[in-house]
Chains A and B, each alone.
Chain A
């Protein structure tokens, strides 16, 4: 593990991709806007390990028509459709404010086709203040691009390979759980020399209004997130860590509200975690997770969070 991540003095801090993270708790793309709403109204986002901003495309996108969200058992479906102001607006108007906070800024990037992905990558490669890129090839809510790139290993390999040629910034790939075998898309990313994997994006779902007798979301389907998907994320992290854990860092996302949830991700093999939907119903959740992780390490006598990464794999059930 120390080959890809170097522990620093504080029990939660380390150097990953040559970037210093004060802790391994990040906020997930699409669940934190661009960070400023929370920074200006709720708490100091400098406390976070990193902020992964809402998906950015080259051109602005208006997003999907409402209704965009619906609650489901212990979760929610969303179909926002990657509404965003475009990278130029982001870099001129949002990023300068975001840079005032002492946290790592990761840009989630998206394109409708390969050309747009590459244009976004090229632009953000030259954008000061963006520390790393998270490639969104798994959004289930847009007609073009998105999931189409994330479900076919060959297409994914080509995209990651090309992006790696044009950017020197660390490139993480956020994988879709809507595949038969996630280790295949993970393998494509490893072979294309991605710097990290982010597991998992939302699961494709649908909710139906029984009175109106039609799907609730305007786009009919949406991405399922929230506590309901925690075991799916943990299972997929575990599977990918088992195969590629020694060669590529995994960032866990999916269903985390508490430190205990986050610990499952770490034990399965995640080196960092992202908090998504919990930001909505428990806005201080990322801070509670940071605190809870520290408490857990103390209680268990660990000196550093990296000591538990992938530890669940040592337990063999026969």
Chain B
């Protein structure tokens, strides 16, 4: 069941670039949360309507009873969220998303771009817990956009993550797709899981199809509700030739079945 929780903020601070980290404690959400689940956070208090809509964020990590959300500050909603202080109460609708990452592969290649890496980070933890082999690609334009670098180090994932920067200021120089083909063909029964900017996911999907490797994308979209009732956050399902809801039929989709 989905619930609207009133939670207390335990941390809300600037990380780097335009990225902030929000943490709050809630035992129920922590117990229910699975990789690819997301939450809808109301940036304002009850009866304040501007900004009005909740914002969808991926659950980036769960540490004991604490939920970690990395968010980029783009507009009025996220700007308002930065003004929240430790101890402030916020409304969080959770856990959301019906279709999560499949687990029937032998090797997982995760490809995250920018803040999209936060849509894959909790999966990394769970894959390690289950002893499933994986590698993660983390790509950004410039070094200061590597907002989850500390998280990677703190969680000893340095050997699992290959970092790419477009300007070469950290890690390998280039796009996440630079070595994707080779990496995806290294192991048998590999699947690519991707989350990030639309253009990046399209490029990843194109390569996956070229080399006939399964590819799943965890999508985001402009959504009003997050639980299937507004029909606003749709994507084209090419098999059914109809629009399906990112929040309810997703957020994870087999890219072979959708029009990215």
A pairs with B: yes
- B227 lies within 8 A of A42 (CB): yes
Across the interface, which residues of B come within 8 angstroms of A227, CB to CB? Answer: 49, 52
Q: Does B54 contact A (CB under 8 A)?
A: yes
**B211-236 at interface with A (beta carbon < 8 Å):** 221-225, 227-235
Q: Does B168 contact A (CB under 8 A)?
A: no
| Least CB distance, A128 to chain B, in whole angstroms | 25
Least CB separation from B47: chain A residue: A258
- A280 lies within 8 A of B221 (CB): no
Q: Does A119 contact B (CB under 8 A)?
A: no
Q: Does B248 contact A (CB under 8 A)?
A: yes
Least CB separation from A27: chain B residue: B229
Interface centre among B49, B50, B77 (most CB of A within 10 A): B49
- A42 lies within 8 A of B2 (CB): yes
| Least CB distance, A223 to chain B, in whole angstroms | 12
- B235 lies within 8 A of A33 (CB): no
- A279 lies within 8 A of B47 (CB): no
- A283 lies within 8 A of B225 (CB): yes
Across the interface, which residues of B come within 8 angstroms of A31, CB to CB? Answer: 229-230
Q: Does B155 contact A (CB under 8 A)?
A: no
**A59-102 at interface with B (beta carbon < 8 Å):** 60, 62-63, 66-71, 73-76, 78, 80, 83
The A contact surface, by secondary structure, is loop
Q: Does A37 contact B (CB under 8 A)?
A: yes
- B229 lies within 8 A of A282 (CB): no
- B222 lies within 8 A of A282 (CB): no
How many cross-chain pairs have Cβ atoms below 8 Å apart between A and B?
A: 102
Q: Mark A21-64, 1 if CB is under 8 A from B, else 0.
A: 00000000001110001100110000000000010000010110
- A54 lies within 8 A of B52 (CB): no
Least CB separation from B236: chain A residue: A65
Q: Using known A-B contacts A33-B228, A42-B227, A83-B243, determine if residue A282 contacts B46 with beta carbons closer than 8 Å.
A: yes
Report the separation of the CA atoms of residues A280 and B148 in the bound assembly, to the nearest whole angstrom: 31
Q: Does A226 contact B (CB under 8 A)?
A: yes
Q: Mark B179-190, 1 if CB is under 8 A from A, else 0.
A: 000000000000
- A54 lies within 8 A of B231 (CB): yes
Quick one: which of A41, A80, A257 contacts B232, CB cutoff 8 A? A80
- B231 lies within 8 A of A63 (CB): yes
- B231 lies within 8 A of A38 (CB): no
Q: Using known A-B contacts A42-B1, A66-B234, A284-B4, determine if residue A74 contacts B52 with beta carbons closer than 8 Å.
A: yes
Least CB separation from A42: chain B residue: B2
Quick one: which of B50, B227, B234 contacts A74, CB cutoff 8 A? B50
| Least CB distance, A89 to chain B, in whole angstroms | 11
- B224 lies within 8 A of A69 (CB): yes
Quick one: which of A37, A76, A282 contacts B227, CB cutoff 8 A? A37
Report the separation of the CA atoms of residues A67 and B232 in the bound assembly, to the nearest whole angstrom: 8
Across the interface, which residues of A come within 8 angstroms of B230, CB to CB? Answer: 31, 69, 78, 80, 280
Interface centre among A33, A60, A281 (most CB of B within 10 A): A281
| Least CB distance, B231 to chain A, in whole angstroms | 5
Q: Does B120 contact A (CB under 8 A)?
A: no
The 19 listed contacts between A and B (C-beta, < 8 Å) are A42-B1, A62-B242, A63-B231, A63-B243, A66-B222, A66-B232, A66-B234, A66-B235, A67-B222, A68-B233, A68-B234, A69-B222, A69-B224, A75-B49, A76-B53, A78-B232, A280-B224, A280-B225, A281-B42
| CB-based closest 10 A-B pairs | A69-B232, A37-B228, A280-B224, A280-B225, A74-B49, A227-B49, A33-B229, A41-B2, A74-B50, A68-B232
Using a CB–CB cutoff of 8 Å, the interface residues on chain A facing chain B are 31-33, 37-38, 41-42, 54, 60, 62-63, 66-71, 73-76, 78, 80, 83, 226-228, 257-258, 277, 279-284
